[in-house]
Structure 1
Amino acid sequence: MLTGKQKRFLRKKAHTIKPVFQIGKAGVTANLIKQTADALEARELIKINMLQNCLEDKNEAAAELAAGASADIVQVIGSTIILYRESEENKQIELP
């Protein structure tokens, strides 16, 4: 679980990165969860964009992705989800 200070730090870092995935009409699938877990292992911090044709609620989709990928939700704002998980082999981000 992330503290408020850590979430602020990660939001600041995530501001400049581009979304890695888009959630569309199919919603959150098992393949998307696996790809999210792989991307988190490589990058630690990722953005995911939800398209307008996605029928799922953004908070439910974020919770489902975070649970499936063993990640923490940093922020859900607008149609953007920011997830963080500390990498086991490729640690890049040092949390305060």
Structure 2
Amino acid sequence: MLTGKQKRYLRSEAHHLSPIFQVGKGGVNENMIKQIGEALEARELIKVSILQNCDQDKDEVALVISKGTRGEIVQKIGNTIVVYKESRENKKLELPKVK
């Protein structure tokens, strides 16, 4: 579980990122979860865009992605979700320490 300070740090890091996945009419499926998991392992922090024609609710999409990838939802803003998962091999981000 991320602290408020860690989420603030991750939001600032994600600000300049562009969404690399789009959830559309088909919603979230197993293949998409697998690809998002691989992207999280490589990058640790990604943005996912939810298109207007998506049948699922934004909160539901965020929940499915976080459970499927075992990642943490950092932020849901508009139709964009920011997801973080600590990488085992490609550690790039150093989170602020919990006191």
Bin the TM-score by the shorter chain.
over 0.9
Task: State the 1:48 CA deviation.
Answer: 0.3
Matches within 5 A, 1:45-60: 45-60=45-60
CA-atom RMSD in angstroms: 0.4
Between the aligned residues of both structures, percent identity stands at 59
Q: Secondary structure at the match of 1:76?
A: strand
Task: State the 1:59 CA deviation.
Answer: 0.8
In structure 2, how many angstroms separate the alpha carbons of the residues matched to 1:71 and 1:24?
21
Q: Secondary structure at the match of 2:73?
A: strand
Which runs of no fewer than 5 residues in structure 2 stay unpaired?
none
Task: State the 1:69 CA deviation.
Answer: 0.3
Equivalenced residue count is 96
Equivalent position of 2:26 in the other structure: 26
Equivalent position of 1:87 in the other structure: 87
In structure 2, how many angstroms separate the alpha carbons of the residues matched to 1:89 and 1:5?
24
Query: Could you tell me the TM-score, scaled by structure 1's length?
Result: 0.99
Query: Could you tell me the TM-score, scaled by structure 2's length?
Result: 0.96
Equivalent position of 1:2 in the other structure: 2
Task: State the 1:55 CA deviation.
Answer: 1.2
